[in-house]
Chain A
Amino acid sequence: MGKHVLLVEDEINIIEAIQFLLSREGWKVDTHSDGATAVDKVRAMKPDLVVLDYMLPGKNGIDILTELRADPEFTRLPILMLTARGQGRDRELAERAGVSRFMTKPFSNTEVMTAVRDLVQLAQ
């Protein structure tokens, strides 16, 4: 069984595309679309990696990231953040909050897959 990824994203078509890509390479993929309960989901599932959207209903990606990094169990959890907000300020906020990798939309599939592989490998 491959590694376990939790995809936290609210754009259904992006979810389907990324889920397909990861599943095709043998990853176990779970998806979640609600920002407000995303931290609970991570705590419950304990994935090997989280792909996290910046803009989510209920709670934004930065707040989720900050909350996860405050939990000793998830300080080293690889988190790839995807965003359509490419402003430098957003990247800075994400980096300060402890993001592992920051990627702006529209991204290429190769970029996403390379980032996912790199992050999991680095965490091992």
Chain B
Amino acid sequence: MARDALTGTRIRERRAMGGLKQSDLAKQIGISASYLNLIEHNRRRIGGKLLLDIAAALDVEPTVLSEGAEAALIAALQEAAQRARLPEDESARAEEFAGRFPGWAEALAAAHRKIADLQRTVETLSDRLAHDPELAASVHEVLSTAASIRSTASILAEDKTITAEWRDRFHANIDADSRRLADSSKALVGFLDAETGEAAPSGSPQEEVAAFLSAHAQTLEAFESGAQDPESIVGQAPELASAQSRHLARTILDRMVRDSAEVGLADLKGALSVHGPDVIALAAHFGVSVPHIMRRLATVPTLDAGLVVADRAGSLLFRKDTEGFAIPRHGAACPLWPLFQVMGQPGQVIRARVQMPTRDNAVFDCFAAAEPVGPVVLNAPPLLEATMLILPSPDMPGAHDLPTEEVGSACHICPRSGCRGRREPSILSDGFTGF
């Protein structure tokens, strides 16, 4: 049925929705009720002034009557018809369906849109599951633990002859596994919530701080310019749920204040144009330490650099991700990172070209240096902090002269075999090609 042929149907629908009698509407617009009845049953064509009068009486735009349901609705219905592989002649009747059953059409279109949204979400999560080693590790942990609990619980439920010794052992196993499952499930939910953009409380103060820094990147620029003080930013940040994370965030922001006071962003950008990301030259230019310059370089948006800071115990105190260089959220990082090589030689600056085991074997130009931190105590070794700047461009001057070293993120999510630094087995033992 042609689009304009349904104008009458739409008039009838709109009139009914407004609770107006046919005779009353006819009277309002100065035509007979029988003529309006013919119009409403699509037996008379309508347009011009009469259409405008009816639209005004029904308090709708004339196009709502003449063009019927919105084009988006028709398009959604036609798309739904295509997905359902309806024959072409059925698909072509989408407008007629929308005109005759607007409520049902809206419901069908909304359901179709919802399905499409869910499909996109599933595709995104599936893709992430296939290519995000942290998420794959979480899923693997959940499934392995669930397998153990299921098998053990079945034995306890079904075997009435089990000895007391076995029963106690299995109860203990279930207890341990259920705790493990609770932890791994929480970690998994954290990943999925992060995927859907929900602000979920994370497992550790470091994670909360990482979420805070990521969420407030713009605010932090304003804060560097002195527009906001650290206390107010920390106090208002929903990501910082624990006292520890707030303390950690304040410490980081305080250091940013001190760092930026000596090396302002505008000055740093100017020096970068002269020296490039040569951390030693830049440190000499500003008269500050190399780790100080690294921290500042990590704030230059155009460099898109990652930064990781660790203490002598190997704990990651600060991390700023850069695409392709996965810094582990939990547990220890790869021991082959230049970050850990400088621990034994405070003051030494190491530059290394490293390759991560990503699908495209991403290469990074890394600088690392360690320096003493905290107060000097007589006859006590200084506390050390190592800093590593991760530059994503492998084409920096001088980078090609360096040998490329194969590193990873963390052992349990690293697919490299025969690695001298391996401490624990990987769940990705066949690498990314296995996905």
Q: Interface residues, chain A, CB within 8 Å of chain B?
A: 10-11, 13-14, 16-18, 20-21, 24, 35, 55-60, 62-63, 82, 84-87, 89-90, 93, 104-109, 112
Contact = CB atoms under 8 A, between A and B. Distances in A.
A59 B144 contact: no
B267 interface: no
A93 B143 contact: no
A20 B166 contact: yes
A13 B435 contact: no
Contacts of B435: 87, 89
Nearest to A18: B151
Interface stretch (B70-78, B169-177, B272-280, B307-315): B169-177
A77 B435 CA distance: 27
Contacts of A24: 159
B332 to A, nearest CB: 16
Nearest to B424: A57
Q: Which 9 A-B pairs have the closest CB atoms?
A: A57-B425, A105-B147, A60-B429, A84-B143, A106-B147, A17-B151, A13-B148, A106-B146, A13-B173
A46 to B, nearest CB: 26
Contacts of B21: none
A109 to B, nearest CB: 5
B91 interface: no
A17 B144 CA distance: 13
A60 B430 contact: yes
29 contacts: A11-B147, A13-B173, A14-B147, A14-B148, A16-B173, A17-B151, A17-B155, A17-B170, A17-B173, A18-B151, A20-B155, A20-B166, A20-B170, A57-B425, A58-B425, A82-B147, A84-B143, A84-B144, A84-B147, A85-B136, A85-B140, A87-B130, A89-B434, A90-B434, A104-B143, A109-B151, A109-B154, A109-B155, A109-B158
Contact of B148 (A11, A35, A60, A104): A11
Interface in B192-249: none
Contact of A14 (B130, B151, B158): B151
Interface in B284-312: none
Contacts of B176: 13
Given A105-B147, A106-B147, A106-B150, A16 B425 contact: no
A52 to B, nearest CB: 13
B301 to A, nearest CB: 37
Interface in B377-425: 424-425
B148 A55 contact: no
Contacts of A57: 424-425
A10 B148 CA distance: 12
A82 B430 CA distance: 16
Q: Which of A16, A56, A89 has the most CB of B within 10 A?
A: A16
Given A13-B148, A14-B151, A106-B143, 10 more contacts: A16-B170, A16-B173, A20-B166, A21-B151, A57-B425, A62-B430, A84-B147, A93-B430, A104-B143, A108-B151
A63 B147 CA distance: 23
A21 B147 contact: no
A92 to B, nearest CB: 10
Nearest to B149: A106
Given A21-B155, A35-B425, A108-B150, A14 B430 contact: no
B427 interface: yes
A13 B177 contact: yes
Given A17-B151, A21-B155, A106-B146, A93 B427 contact: no
A109 B155 CA distance: 8
Contact of A11 (B144, B159, B169, B434): B144
A62 B431 CA distance: 12
